[in-house]
Structure 1
Amino acid sequence: MWIWLVLGFLYIINALTAIITVFRSHRDISAVWAWLLVLLLLPVVGFLIYFVFGRKLRANRMQDLMTQRLLGIDDLVDQQQQALAAGQPLIGTPGSGGVSELVRTLLRADDALVTTHNDVQVLALREAFFKQLFEDIAVATEHIHIEAYTIRPDAIGHQLRDLLIEKAHAGVTVRVLYDTFGSHDLPNNFWKKLTAAGGQVERFVATK
């Protein structure tokens, strides 16, 4: 009986330590809950995993924060938060007051600044999207930035990659950011020719 009491006491200590450790770090809320689950479900072992991998991720996060500070993003975030607190609209368009709470949430959660004079085109249909995407890639002369959740090794995926390789060879700066889980069936060598041509490819939440 006393063994279970000791184990229960140790687990409570483990849980409290996990909560303090994770919430003291400057992380995205999704990363906080992910690490908290690891530490709670894997007592002792979870802390070993955290100290091996968690600190490396934290160092990368601190580097990102330093970059933001050097670029002056922190100052802009503070200015926008102060403007919201004073009831000043950040978007100079009629009827924009309803988005203030969304703006405030994004600023607090991820330092997501409000920007204006953006040119955005919404393409809801798959065919129209890829048609426009390939046309834009074809006429690009300076840089191409692709951010996608799902890229598959099918005909469209290969066409996209080949177009990007062609533009990279032409001297255009090509950067691709895609999601590991959404694009899980991409082979490891899918982007090899693009990176060899000078393109930059990164995965969001790399796992392999």
Structure 2
Amino acid sequence: MGILAVFLILLLVLNVFFAGVTVFLERRDTSATWAWLLVLTFVPIVGFIIYLIFGRKLSNKKIFDWKGQEKIGIKESTANQIDLIRQKEFPFSDTNVKKHRDLIYLLLVNDGAILTQDNEVETYIDGHEKFDALIKDMENAKDHIHLIYYIFHSDTLGKRVMEVLERKAKQGVNVKIIYDAMGSRTTKKSFFRELERNGGMVRPFFPSKFPLINFRLNYRNHRKLAIIDGEVGYIGGFNIGDEYLGLWKKFGYWRDTHLRVRGKAVYAMQTRFIMDWNSAAPNQKIDYKARYFPAFYGNGHTSMQIVSSGPDSEWQQIKNGYIKMINSAKKSIYLQSPYFIPDASLIEALKIACLSGVDVRLMIPNKPDHAFVYRATTSYAGELMETGAKIFIYDNGFIHAKTLIVDGEIASVGTANLDFRSFRLNFEVNAFIYEKQLAQKLEDIFLEDILKSYQLTPELYKQRSKWIKLKEAVSRLLSPIL
């Protein structure tokens, strides 16, 4: 017993030491620090192993190469737009865009997100329609097809997409795919073998360097982008898999939001792809060639910024953009997200909007795809409801859309959820949109979704069981690291 006692004391001392070294020496949010301390304290040794896999901050080593952008004048264009806005001489396309120049400036300065004003945009909320359009565009590709998807399954839809890519590669079209090594972990490398035989190139993002364990497990490329011939781009929430067509019984109908863009905003999507590719394939980098940025002019009138964020950035660009939009609201804020785990700054912004008389509406799913995350979501939704927000539970399958619409004037659609993971851990990309017509269309879609939802009232929320309340409490406590 004496030896066992000494061993246990030594184990606890080492655990405390490791907790101090690994948590306090890394700059992180206070709530996340406390959450990890709870794990390290109450699950000694095992908790430390969990921390090594999920909790370590990303290395300061440079992940993306920004220098290449100088070759196509992005740095120069960004500086030029910043100067023109500062001098109040920027040629905004209309008064609605000009009205939001502070938000535009914020995203320009902190992310280099150039404002483009010639975009034609189509909206897709159904997976069948989105993938029919994408496959048609890929069939018409003449030069290149660039894809980034967090999930690329080898199921019916995955095979349908792959057949087109294999055929286009055989025709001489340059095909490149980035998939996330964790999100697509069930997809075997052999699934891509025929495409590679035909000349296509495929790379995983942040694959494991060791068997069975990945020390960058927490940092995933959650982006979904498709760029065809540098003229057409897709951005939004749909991944490649049968569930996104509503073919999984567990989720039922899959409700998401995706955009098809034709205009200069595609250049920004292309730039994002090139940086991600050069990170995933450092020995086979691609240059910013003219073929990837063809000279053309969009015939649309949608003003847009493509904004990226990730754990490699000093600022949480997408979250800051969300907060700026929320703070600008005068009438309404409509939010859709499968996960609602806001940090203090975001939920305070929403509460202030509610208390100021703004019509705040949040729509979340009626079922979890991650149990802990869902209970944290319902907990925060209940808290927001106390300030007057209306909470709607989508009851027609599973809602995966990541949309924010403010005053029916501006909107954001992309890959970032309203949670810690999207803001701090994942690599995300969103389109920030400054056009009333498109914002109102997205608002109309939201209102149609309400007809397929039920409202979570204070009375209904109080009826949840003690077991659910306990799960909410535990999930909320761990929410900064979920």
Per the normalisation by structure 1, the TM-score is: 0.66
Which one-letter code corresponds to 1:171 in the other structure?
A: G
Cα separation, 2, equivalents of 1:12 and 1:90: 52
Q: For residues 83-128 of structure 1, what are the alpha-carbon distances to aligned partners after superposition, in whole Å with 9 as ceiling and x for unaligned?
A: 2223344641341124434323332333222223233322211111
1:152 equivalent in structure 2: 153
Structure 1 pair 149–12 and aligned structure 2 pair: CA distance change class (3 A):
closer
Cα separation, 2, equivalents of 1:203 and 1:103: 33
Cα separation, 1, equivalents of 2:81 and 2:145: 29
Report how far residue 79 of structure 1 moved. Answer: 1.3
Structure 1 pair 185–98 and aligned structure 2 pair: CA distance change class (3 A):
farther
Cα separation, 2, equivalents of 1:151 and 1:203: 11
For residues 56-67 of structure 1, what are the structure 2 equivalents within 5 Å?
57-58=61-62, 60-61=63-64, 64-67=65-68
Instruction: Please tell me whether the aligned partners of residues 80 and 90 of structure 1 are also in contact (alpha carbons under 8 angstroms).
Output: no
Which one-letter code corresponds to 2:133 in the other structure?
A: Q
1:27 equivalent in structure 2: none
SS at match of 1:145: strand
Cα separation, 1, equivalents of 2:154 and 2:84: 46
- Between Structure 1 and Structure 2, the one with more helix by share is 1
* Identity within the alignment, %: 25
Report how far residue 153 of structure 1 moved. Answer: 1.4
1:114 equivalent in structure 2: 115
- Count of residue pairs brought into register by the alignment: 176
Report how far residue 166 of structure 1 moved. Answer: 0.5
Instruction: Please tell me whether the aligned partners of residues 81 and 90 of structure 2 are also in contact (alpha carbons under 8 angstroms).
Output: no
1:130 aligns with 2:131: yes
Structure 1 pair 129–14 and aligned structure 2 pair: CA distance change class (3 A):
closer
SS at match of 1:95: helix
Report how far residue 131 of structure 1 moved. Answer: 1.2
Cα separation, 1, equivalents of 2:138 and 2:22: 55
Q: For residues 168-200 of structure 1, what are the alpha-carbon distances to aligned partners after superposition, in whole Å with 9 as ceiling and x for unaligned?
A: 000111122333443332222222221221213
Cα separation, 2, equivalents of 1:175 and 1:91: 35
1:54 equivalent in structure 2: 59
For residues 87-98 of structure 1, what are the structure 2 equivalents within 5 Å?
87-89=88-90, 91-98=92-99
Cα separation, 1, equivalents of 2:207 and 2:184: 11
- Between Structure 1 and Structure 2, the one with more strand by share is 2
Structure 1 pair 184–86 and aligned structure 2 pair: CA distance change class (3 A):
farther
In structure 2, stretches of 5+ residues that fail to align are 1-12, 41-47, 210-482
Report how far residue 164 of structure 1 moved. Answer: 0.1
Report how far residue 80 of structure 1 moved. Answer: 1.6
2:435 equivalent in structure 1: none
2:170 equivalent in structure 1: 169
Out of 108-117 and 162-171, give the one that drifted further: 108-117
For residues 1-208 of structure 1, what are the structure 2 equivalents within 5 Å?
11=20, 15=24, 18-19=26-27, 54=59, 57-58=61-62, 60-61=63-64, 64-89=65-90, 91-207=92-208
Instruction: Please tell me whether the aligned partners of residues 152 and 185 of structure 1 are also in contact (alpha carbons under 8 angstroms).
Output: yes
Instruction: Please tell me whether the aligned partners of residues 176 and 201 of structure 1 are also in contact (alpha carbons under 8 angstroms).
Output: yes
Structure 1 pair 104–187 and aligned structure 2 pair: CA distance change class (3 A):
farther
SS at match of 1:151: coil
Cα separation, 2, equivalents of 1:13 and 1:142: 48
Structure 1 pair 102–180 and aligned structure 2 pair: CA distance change class (3 A):
farther
2:252 equivalent in structure 1: none
Structure 1 pair 76–148 and aligned structure 2 pair: CA distance change class (3 A):
same
1:30 equivalent in structure 2: none
Cα separation, 2, equivalents of 1:117 and 1:151: 31
Cα separation, 2, equivalents of 1:65 and 1:177: 19
Of structures 1 and 2, the one with the larger relative CO (CA 8 A, separation 6+) is: 2
Instruction: Please tell me whether the aligned partners of residues 144 and 175 of structure 1 are also in contact (alpha carbons under 8 angstroms).
Output: yes
SS at match of 1:141: coil
Out of 186-195 and 90-99, give the one that drifted further: 90-99
Structure 1 pair 194–80 and aligned structure 2 pair: CA distance change class (3 A):
same
Cα separation, 2, equivalents of 1:207 and 1:102: 38
SS at match of 2:118: coil
Report how far residue 162 of structure 1 moved. Answer: 1.3
SS at match of 1:116: strand
SS at match of 1:191: helix
Cα separation, 2, equivalents of 1:207 and 1:165: 27
Cα separation, 2, equivalents of 1:12 and 1:168: 50
Cα separation, 2, equivalents of 1:127 and 1:159: 12
Cα separation, 1, equivalents of 2:182 and 2:92: 35
Structure 1 pair 73–153 and aligned structure 2 pair: CA distance change class (3 A):
same
SS at match of 2:124: coil
In structure 1, stretches of 5+ residues that fail to align are 23-32
Per the normalisation by structure 2, the TM-score is: 0.31
Cα separation, 1, equivalents of 2:131 and 2:152: 12
SS at match of 1:54: coil
